[in-house]
Amino acid sequence: MTTRNSYRIASIPGDGIGPEVVSATIQVVEKLAKTLGTFNIDFEHIPWGTEYYKQTGRYVSEDCLDTLRKYDSVLFGAVGSPDVPDHISLWGLLLALRGPLQLYANVRPVRTFPGTKCPLNTATDGIDWMLVRENSEGEYAGQGGRSHVGQQWEAATEVAVFTRVGIERIMRFAFETARSRPRKLLTVVTKSNSMRNGMVLWDEIAALVAKDFPDVRWDKMLVDAMTVRMVAKPESIDTIVGTNLHMDILSDLAAALAGSIGVAPSSNLDPTRKNPSIFEPVHGSAFDITGKGVANPVATFWSAAEMLVWIGEKDAAKQLMGCVERVCAAGILTPDLGGISDTQGVVDAVCLEVEKL
């Protein structure tokens, strides 16, 4: 008898369209596991988010880290609600977990997808990039403060914190990621002309780590010039690494260039694998379409496929993405991609494809 691997996944649907896209994804992944019969997967619901905050005063439970450490991975939807300031909800949930769980690598694959339209005039096959975002330091380290609040001379500082350890670990991860891809090509993004401390340290450590990866071609680029290159010469790019702030911005640009934020996935990884990693769509809670049943579930499907790769079910991930791509290529698309299908219509179509496997 063959033994099947079993996985326990925490599902945190969160706010807005989060519950819609997470529920869509669980249906599809459970169907996949059942049809392939090669692994077991259990999703357990965790109710953290803005409703939980309104009832308890906290976005997550007090023992949230111990709770999550019981799971192999976490599938997350979105956080944010129009009646709570974004910096409170974001720090209450996602940023509260990323730091302590040491999810220092945020990985965002970006490629043109069947059914999406790349707004660029690329004569080539479109875009196929891997974005690596440092996920624990920089301007998002939460350091800084305000003085003379409300007075004319009020001042606020947002201190960007960079450490040698923090930069080196993300740089190694990025070089390894670039090495694992066919083109073995990495661009290190900084702003070391005008930011003369942290960004210069980034440049120095990039050069140091590069010595251990002689088979990876790499270059460095200022972030402003990089925005131009992404639009003007997309084919010259493969893997990109940069700071928390820079890659936050570049990854939205990348998602838009690839056609839609509705298909963009992301992984928050602890590359040491001591803690469970969190997989989530790049988009947020999108309250303008919440409850209408039209949210595009593809970004979350793709995030779940990245999760399957991470936990060791690479073949299942490939099969899942094949099914999703066939459905999109057949024109079964939500309105954000110009289609007329609703979320459940896409789910049903993908489940039908899965049944054919």
Residues that bind ligand ATP (CB under 6 A): 17, 21, 78, 80, 86, 261-262, 283-289, 295-296, 299, 334, 336
CA dist 280 and 95 (Å) reads 13
Nearer to ligand ATP, 277 or 334 (CB): 334
Of 269 and 295, which CB lies nearer to ligand ATP in the complex structure?
Answer: 295
Closer residue to ligand ATP (CB): 215 or 288: 288
Q: 283 is in the binding site of which of ligand ATP, Mg ion, none (Cβ under 5 to 8 A by kind)?
A: ligand ATP
Residue 144 CB, nearest approach to ligand ATP (Å): 22
**Residue 277 C-beta: closest distance to Mg ion, Å:** 22
| Shortest distance in whole angstroms from residue 136 CB to Mg ion | 21
Residue whose Cβ sits closest to ligand ATP:
284
Specify the residue, 94 or 206, whose C-beta has the smaller distance to ligand ATP. 94
At closest approach, how far in Å is the CB of 80 from Mg ion? Answer: 7
Contacts for 35-41: CB closer than 8 Å, 24+ residues apart: 35/354, 35/355, 35/357, 36/316, 36/319, 36/357, 37/4, 38/4, 38/313, 38/315, 38/316, 39/4, 39/5, 39/6, 39/7, 39/313, 39/316, 40/4, 40/5, 40/6, 40/7, 41/6, 41/7, 41/9
Choose from Mg ion, ligand ATP, none: what does 288 bind? Cβ within 5-8 Å by kind. Answer: ligand ATP
Name the binder of 78 from ligand ATP, Mg ion, none, CB < 5-8 A by kind: ligand ATP
One-letter identity of residue 177 = T
Closer to ligand ATP by CB, 26 or 299: give it.
299
* Size of the residue set binding Mg ion (CB under 5 A): 1
- Nearest residue to the partner Mg ion, using Cβ: 284
Nearest distance in Å: CB 284, Mg ion:
4
Contact 229, 237 (CB under 8 A): yes
Contact characters 298-317, Mg ion, x per CB under 5 A: --------------------
Residue 276's nearest CA partner among 18, 46, 87, 47 is: 46
Helix (H) and strand (E) counts in the chain: 12, 12
User: How many C-beta atoms lie closer than 10 Å to residue 273's C-beta?
Assistant: 9
Sign of the alpha-carbon dihedral angle for 45, 53, 267, 120:
positive
* Burial bucket for residue 322 (CB in 10 Å: 0-12, 13-18, 19+): middle
Smallest gap, in angstroms, from Cβ of residue 248 to ligand ATP? 11
Task: Pull the structure tokens for residue 193.
Answer: 């002309």
The binder of 77, among Mg ion, ligand ATP, none, by C-beta within 5 to 8 A per type, is none
Helix (H, G, I), strand (E, B) or coil at 74: strand
**Least Å distance between CB 61 and ligand ATP?**
21
Q: Residue 114 phi/psi, 5° resolution?
A: -55, 130
Residue 19 interface partner, choices ligand ATP, Mg ion, none, CB cut-off 5-8 Å depending on type: none
How distant is the alpha carbon of residue 93 from its chain centre? 15
Per CB under 5 A, contacts with Mg ion among 256-295 are 284
Nearer to Mg ion, 166 or 284 (CB): 284
Whole-number minimum distance, CB 323 to ligand ATP, in Å? 18
Helix (H, G, I), strand (E, B) or coil at 286: coil
- Judge whether 16 and 287 are in contact, CB under 8 Å: yes
Q: Which CB, 215 or 288, lies closer to Mg ion?
A: 288
Supply angle C-alpha 78, 245, 254, rounded to 5: 70
Q: Which is nearer to ligand ATP, 171 or 299 (CB)?
A: 299
Selection from 105, 176, 108 nearest residue 137 by Cα: 105
Contact footprint for Mg ion (CB under 5 A): 284
